[in-house]
Amino acid sequence: MTMVVYPTSFHLATIICLMLLPLHISATEGFSVNLIRKNSSHAHVLPLRRLMELSAMEKTLTPQSPIYAYLGHYLMELSIGTPPFKIYGIADTGSDLTWTSCVPCNNCYKQRNPMFDPQKSTTYRNISCDSKLCHKLDTGVCSPQKRCNYTYAYASAAITRGVLAQETITLSSTKGKSVPLKGIVFGCGHNNTGGFNDHEMGIIGLGGGPVSLISQMGSSFGGKRFSQCLVPFHTDVSVSSKMSFGKGSKVSGKGVVSTPLVAKQDKTPYFVTLLGISVENTYLHFNGSSQNVEKGNMFLDSGTPPTILPTQLYDQVVAQVRSEVAMKPVTDDPDLGPQLCYRTKNNLRGPVLTAHFEGADVKLSPTQTFISPKDGVFCLGFTNTSSDGGVYGNFAQSNYLIGFDLDRQVVSFKPKDCTKHK
């Protein structure tokens, strides 16, 4: 989920580096969480382009978190406050701020679950606008109560506004124990608008910037790293995805391929370099006929469903996929728009696509590349952009154990049936 940060004047601003207060966490060797699925009915057809628009708006003791899948997003379960209050936020490697809707929330989108009430938590602490932490946020506004107000916006009109605060966030572990993270900086949102659905109670920022949950955990659990194993969206809803943190999240063994993370001024996205995409045996270079590509031309975003490619490469991929599939594409369904779709009861048997990252070839079966927006139809889970870069979305990330090692600055991929957690 691509984000931008707006100061109070609502002009675009760069991501602000934050001075985070130290965490008080007992040292363990890592933890994991389950990303539990919620049922996504086909009652409302959501073409892939619309899903992309929604996304743009928006062994040892191993810490974990349950993650639910709903309408193209993976919802991460965690508890906030004391006593713990359960929330479900979009697991988003494309943004930093973790926030949830808080009462009072008069101008917020509709939610089916109760909202967090900071007055009922004994560990909630507002951050003063006189503190160094608030001055590192370029909001420019103090409330009459001298609290630090924030405004955080995403690539579309989706915005959360509220109070920057600190709280205890509690996750579970593989052994069922609670893992409390004290003093976590988060946004208590009192005015949240945009294309969120009523299952989503906020966003869990897992990006690389200093205010993200990952950065605030740091190396407290045996290394600054985390991994995810996302189940495909067609999987039975009782099967959960999994996210692990710290030492227990290392990706190793047979079949692992790795690609370097590319450092840029924007510290939030996890930038990697995509050299090209193969459709079966046909190699399509990222820059058309040129083999020279800019480093860090793609980033991995668990908050964006489709993979987004520059228009030239997207058009080539679509044309080549069409030539490999014997069926006739759907052209008479206005719900689907210009997407490449086929009428079939079951997913396609091919073709196999390969994402050629620098040093890592990642093979994608139809399970990862074709998505069913409604019964009897499967569509290519890619879309296009006019920019020179792109996004590697969560459809393509499914059924891979993907490790983000921020100490070594690499991303590793290991093919895995994510419905089987072992």
**Residue in 96, 130, 266, 301 annotated catalytic:** 301
Q: Would you state the structure tokens that stand for residue 46, as one six-digit string?
A: 């959501």
Q: For residue 135, what pLDDT is reported? A: 67
Nearest to 355 by CA among 409, 411, 422: 411
pLDDT tens sequence across 60-69: 466 777 676 7
Peptide bond into 104 cis (omega under 30): yes
Compute φ and ψ for 63, nearest 5 degrees: -60, 140
DSSP label at residue 28: -
pLDDT band at 136 (very low <50, low <70, confident <90, very high): low
Q: List strand residue ranges (DSSP E) for 81-138, in order.
A: 85-92, 99-101, 125-126
Distances (CA, A) of 22 to 213, 234, 322, 402: 13, 41, 54, 28
Q: Name beta bridge partners: 42.
A: none
The pLDDT of residue 333 is above 90: yes
Mean pLDDT in residue range 227-232:
94
Q: Would you state the structure tokens that stand for residue 140, as one six-digit string?
A: 């420019």
Determine the CATH number of domain 3-248: 2.40.70.10
**Residue in 92, 138, 361, 417 annotated catalytic:** 92
Residues of the chain with CATH 2.40.70.10: 3-248, 250-415
Q: How big, in percent rounded to 5, are the helix, strand and coil portions of the chain? A: 10, 40, 50
pTM metric for this prediction: 0.86
Q: Would you state the structure tokens that stand for residue 292, as one six-digit string?
A: 């020279």
Q: For residue 81, what pLDDT is reported? A: 98
pLDDT tens sequence across 406-418: 999 999 999 999 9
Q: For residue 34, what pLDDT is reported? A: 67
pLDDT band at 134 (very low <50, low <70, confident <90, very high): confident
Q: For residue 18, what pLDDT is reported? A: 28
Q: Are 58 and 41 contacting, i.e. CB atoms less than 8 angstroms apart?
A: no
The pLDDT of residue 129 is above 60: yes
Q: Name beta bridge partners: 379.
A: 341, 371
Q: Are 244 and 422 contacting, i.e. CB atoms less than 8 angstroms apart?
A: no
pLDDT band at 1 (very low <50, low <70, confident <90, very high): confident
pLDDT tens sequence across 276-317: 999 999 999 999 767 788 999 999 999 999 999 999 999 999
> Bigger pLDDT: 369 or 8?
369
Annotated active-site residue 301? The verdict is yes
Q: Would you state the structure tokens that stand for residue 334, as one six-digit string?
A: 């206005």
Range with top average pLDDT, 209-223, 243-257, 358-372: 358-372
> Bigger pLDDT: 138 or 143?
143
Q: For residue 369, what pLDDT is reported? A: 97
Annotated active-site residue 332? The verdict is no
**Exposed (0-12), middle (13-18) or buried (19+): which is 205, by Cβ within 10 Å?**
buried
Q: For residue 21, what pLDDT is reported? A: 31
Q: For residue 381, what pLDDT is reported? A: 97
Percent pLDDT > 90 in the chain is 64
The pLDDT of residue 185 is above 70: yes
DSSP label at residue 381: S
Q: Name beta bridge partners: 310.
A: 385
Compute φ and ψ for 55, nearest 5 degrees: -70, -40
Q: For residue 237, what pLDDT is reported? A: 65
Q: Three-class SS of residue 66?
A: coil
Q: Three-class SS of residue 204?
A: strand
Helix (H), strand (E) counts: the chain: 6, 29
In angstroms, rounded to a whole number, what is the distance separating the alpha carbons of residues 4 and 95? 9
Q: Are 17 and 210 contacting, i.e. CB atoms less than 8 angstroms apart?
A: yes
Nearest to 154 by CA among 269, 265, 298, 2: 2
Q: Three-class SS of residue 387?
A: coil
Nearest to 187 by CA among 14, 64, 5: 5
Mean pLDDT in residue range 118-139:
84
pLDDT tens sequence across 69-84: 777 889 998 999 999 9
Q: For residue 71, what pLDDT is reported? A: 73
CATH topology for the 250-415 domain: Cathepsin D, subunit A; domain 1 (2.40.70)
Q: For residue 233, what pLDDT is reported? A: 85
Compute φ and ψ for 286, nearest 5 degrees: -55, -40
Q: Range with the lowest mean pLDDT among 24-28, 118-122, 158-162?
A: 24-28
